[in-house]
Chains A and B, each alone.
Chain A
């Protein structure tokens, strides 16, 4: 029963990792951009939520109503004003620019908010739990977080295959230059993809900040979790990304159960094992 509990908690945290990963996967899929600043943008979202909760006296989940559009706007502007200029045949420039962005965001946050660790207070919902079996309890917040992650992945999947914007993403991803000849403004399409990516980042950032303490320096570890979930799941597959997040979450939970110091190690080992045995990931998209 104890192990059931461990796996369950792993699955639930996996939802959060899937949200870290979904935005990364989306950006890489549409424009082959590896966003090194992804983790720091998650932290930025947490701080924006902190400001909103303090200034308006709302709880963190309500603050999402403001944080999500703000992050989406930042994403659109960032892509349009900066990242679009770095895209081309060479993968290196966007890598370097987002790396620089990561440093700027980290130090900007450090300057504004100091290195003190913060926490978003979600109130009574944080301690609300349900008894599943005699010895297994599940928190309301992890459940909500997992539900939101599944909804985000399902939403992205539906958007990709059922909407005009999704078709624009897929067409641009397939062949940027032909997409332009079909009337697609690829700079706008890329900016929309980044806006969407950062909207998901906003949700992930707020849930992260309710779960754990955060400070300006924790972004890079979230980036790694995101990358690992993407690779485990297989590039380009949204449901695979969810599975990747869950596998990473379960591995960490089991590792932590064996020895608290093994939590991160276990996650990395499973990631490396999958990379060695199945480098295309568990659920890769069928290639065109």
Chain B
């Protein structure tokens, strides 16, 4: 089966820094994929390239069998590609509800009064129902992260790209979030999740990739990869010969 989202032979450099070096990545329909890697490995840049905010120097982005490398970000969103940001970026002058309504109406290309009900449900599901009329700029970190997720889901994505949604949360908050992401996944949305909080990641994903220096250096079963020599070297600085 053809993957729903594929990065093919993607390269990107910022000045002298290579953030993607002929990267290949394929996400199968219904799959949940995790990506780990040290800071600066190029993880977030891959999301930028996939969603169209960063132009790759070389390579192709294929969504559902179609080359979308040159497609504008808003077109990609309407086709079903959504992302969340590591540092939440809500429309801070608008209410929580308005934030979700904008994403639902424009991202899913529906009439505004047709999305209100869906948006209210989504806020309920993401634990933001009581904050619907709060200005998004005044939210706590947890609520901003929830809004980030709610807004991405409001666009009715087929593929959801999550960028460190668990970082900075308490254990309790984190497990609630993991339950929500499992639920999202069960609804048929394919996921790529960049995360430093490995136990949260392992609770959801089917496959784990390790990015280092703009290349995937390990891939496969999450529990196997996490115990692999490559991961140990990168994260613990343990030499292969030691």
Contacts and interface: CB of A to CB of B under 8 A. Distances in A.
Nearest to A184: B106
Interface stretch (B57-65, B73-81, B176-184, B187-195): B73-81
Contacts of B91: 170-171, 174-175, 178-179, 288
Contact of B94 (A174, A181, A286): A174
B217 to A, nearest CB: 29
A121 B87 CA distance: 59
Interface of B: 51-53, 72-74, 77-78, 82-83, 85, 89, 91-94, 98-99, 101-103, 105-109, 111-112, 135, 137, 151, 155
Interface in A144-196: 163-164, 167-168, 170-171, 174-175, 177-186
27 contacts: A163-B112, A164-B105, A164-B106, A164-B112, A167-B98, A167-B102, A168-B102, A170-B91, A170-B93, A171-B94, A171-B99, A171-B102, A174-B94, A175-B89, A175-B91, A179-B102, A180-B72, A180-B74, A181-B51, A181-B53, A181-B73, A181-B83, A183-B74, A183-B103, A183-B106, A286-B93, A288-B137
Contacts, number: 79
A180 B93 contact: no
Contacts of B53: 177, 180-181
A183 B152 CA distance: 10
Q: Which 9 interchain pairs have the tightest Cβ spacing?
A: A183-B107, A288-B92, A288-B93, A183-B106, A164-B112, A180-B73, A183-B77, A174-B91, A182-B103
Given A167-B101, A167-B102, A183 B109 contact: yes
B92 A184 contact: no
Contact of A174 (B73, B77, B93, B112): B93
A287 B93 CA distance: 7
B93 A181 contact: no
B106 A182 contact: yes
Given A175-B89, A288-B92, A182 B137 contact: no
Nearest to A173: B93
Given A181-B83, A183-B77, 5 more contacts: A174-B93, A180-B74, A183-B78, A183-B107, A184-B102
Contacts of A183: 74, 77-78, 103, 106-109, 155
A182 B102 contact: yes
B94 A180 contact: no
Interface residues of A, number: 22
Contacts of A174: 91-94
Nearest to B111: A164
Contacts of B51: 181
B233 to A, nearest CB: 35
A287 to B, nearest CB: 8
Contacts of A180: 52-53, 72-74, 77
A167 B94 contact: yes
A195 to B, nearest CB: 18
A177 B89 CA distance: 10
Contacts of A179: 91, 102
Contacts of A186: 74
Contact of A178 (B89, B105, B112, B137): B89
A170 B105 CA distance: 14
A171 B103 CA distance: 10
A164 B115 CA distance: 11
B82 A181 contact: yes
A177 B52 CA distance: 10
Interface in A256-288: 285-288
A285 B111 CA distance: 29
Contacts of A285: 93
Contacts of B111: 164
Most B-side CB within 10 Å, residue of A167, A183, A185, A286:
A183
Contact of B72 (A170, A185, A287): A185
A288 B139 CA distance: 12
Contacts of B72: 180, 185
B215 to A, nearest CB: 26
Contact of A182 (B52, B93, B135, B151): B151
A167 to B, nearest CB: 5
Contact of A184 (B74, B98, B99, B108): B74
B94 A182 contact: no
